[in-house]
Structure 1
Amino acid sequence: MSDQGEMMQNFQPTPGCPIPVRIFADSAVREEVEPWLRTGLVCGVTTNPTLLRRAGLQVSDIAEVARWAAGDGEREVCFQLWGDTAEQQYSNAMRIHELAPGALIKVPVTPAGVTVVSRLHAQGVQVLLTAVYAAKQAAIASALGVRYLAPYYNRMLAAGRDGAAEIGRMASMIPQDGRGPLILAASVKSGRQVVELLDVGVRVLTLPPAVIADLFTDQLTDKAVADFEADIQAAL
């Protein structure tokens, strides 16, 4: 296990203090994600049915995605269940669990999904409650004791909702110090949106690889690095 993985596994939150910022990569494309995994910046990978389809993958590929995404087991990997009924969802969740035993299962915040959560917990499977759009849904996540809840920030904005205010209420309802469910903000489209989310108390985000790259983008940083390189070349 890497030093980062061991640190996060052994991390004990201080009551009343927020946890360190954690970043997941939101993609199922190995070539996009692996360069960021190698940096140590990214602590896990999130997927959903749409991302699997875009990557040209099928359910049978879940085991391979989990293998490269989890590394030596120090990173968290998330896959989303599917099905019209609670029984179908539970059956498909266990199918994912068989393919990727250490993975978190993403469960939509619906009555059928909620029925599945306690059954997954009884099997020792960690849950991420997904498709969250309203602060009131955070009460469900807390009552169920899930590991994460995932509000869709940019989709909230596109629907005309004040996403920052809504997610800020979630963070107020459930302090983000590791003692309860953590908000894992999804549907994040820029570095600017990352800052907006951190400003309202979010500590965990899942970002497309392009948005991870955007965190590094700044003209002044680029100029400073270029100037330092020019100066050391002159000194050599």
Structure 2
Amino acid sequence: MKEQKPLWTTGIALLLVMVTFFAFNQWNHKQEKALEDQKQELKNKNQKLSMEIERLQSTNEYLKEKPSVGEEESGYHTWPEIEKKAERLVNESDGNFKKSWAMYLVKEAQRYKINPFLVYELLKVETGGTFDPELVGPETKYGHAYGMSQFMKNTAPWIADMAGLPYEEELLFDPYYSMQLSLVYLDFLKNKYNNWDEALTAYHRGMGGLKAYKKENGHAESWYAEEIQEKAENHTTVVLAN
């Protein structure tokens, strides 16, 4: 007669099988999770690469098609109008926007055929009305934004390169440098989208953010774009009336 194994040895064997099965499931789950994480990381990298390629293509098209600024009229004819617009900006800001900044902005905006009041209102929104050239924005998943125009360190270098300007991080706190970058970027966005709703929303949210906004809302008329354009138009109306 064959000797039967004790019941406790059978229990131990069954327990070992269960423990092994559980350990294998845990290992398999970790492997699956690691694989999913790798897939997601690869997807994120591909998305960033696609956005970078699109940005480079857009920049290249902008630089090829950007019209020449052309010859300007004599300062004798244009300066009174520049001064009038600059005074409007200084007064409206209660002196927070300095006269020298205003003169610079109006003169440079004229070169790019951009309404200086639109840029002024953008700077006003970006700085919460302070026009603080040393402003550091709140932390986001993309980092901080810096200066009067609130550029991030992943955006400012290629805009500076497009503008033919040097790039150093401390320059983002220079009000004239900051305004120049904002003008170049707005000029780029306006040429890319051919309308201010998309250009301004892209300035605020990024070009990828603009796509997401349009997909979600069916249009690019964000509060940011609408507020800036409406207030810029009010300034223009007042200056023309005077």
Relative to the length of structure 2, the TM-score reads 0.24
Given the two structures, how large is their TM-score scaled by the length of structure 1?
0.24
Work out which structure has the larger RCO, using CA pairs closer than 8 Å and 6 or more positions apart in sequence: 1
Of Structure 1 and Structure 2, the greater strand share is in 1
Greater helix fraction, Structure 1 or Structure 2: 2
